[in-house]
Amino acid sequence: MPIPWTLKSHLDREHVHYDVLPHSQTFRALAVARTLHLPIQEMAKVVIVKVKEQFVTTVLPATAKVDVLRLRKLFGTHHVRLATEQEIAKLFPDCELGAMPPLGTLYGLPVYVDRSLTGDEEIVFEGGTHSEAIRMRYWDFAALVFPVVAEFHRQSVATC
């Protein structure tokens, strides 16, 4: 499956330089980094959360997990949970489940980026499929989505 038209047309229309990185089918961001022989700190993953009645795109290092307690503090509510697979499928209808790109604004969702990603020159993320990733300059990505930058990750014990 090629990169969704929604994503490709937006990147091309905005004249953003990006590289499509084809890889064997994988279902986890860390596996994508290993398959592409990329430093794992360059690989970002997307986790969709529901805050009260609104869905939010969170972007964090592939090696980390979302800290829901930090998100609750950030949003000032206890009503924060991970989105279900059914909800994600409806929000990103042209993407393979679990391969959502971090450009949530294309799908009507605000984007929150973990501060740990902002120091990297490049960001690599799944491009809507489990067999193609996208690499671009971090600041080009930030200029596309105007993310809120905050700290909301915790390091994962497992790295696979």
Residues 6+ apart with CB under 8 A from 22: 131, 132
Instruction: With cut-offs at 50, 70 and 90, classify the pLDDT of residue 120.
Output: confident
**Gap between the Cα atoms of 91 and 138, Å rounded:** 24
Q: How far apart are CA 29 and CA 36, in angstroms?
A: 11
Q: Mean pLDDT in the chain?
A: 88
Nearest to 50 by CA among 14, 19, 81: 81
Domain count, the chain: 1
Report if residue 159 sits inside a domain. Answer: no
Which region among 6-10, 23-27, 147-151 has the lowest average model confidence (pLDDT)? 23-27
Q: Give mean pLDDT, residues 85-106.
A: 93
Residue at 158 is within a domain: no
Is there a domain that residue 160 lies in? no
Question: Any idea what the CATH number is for the domain that residue 36 is in?
Answer: 3.90.960.10
In this predicted structure, what is the pLDDT of residue 119? 85
State the average pLDDT over residues 20-48: 74
Q: What is the pTM of this model?
A: 0.88
Element (H, E) at 78: none
- pLDDT of 22 higher than 80: no
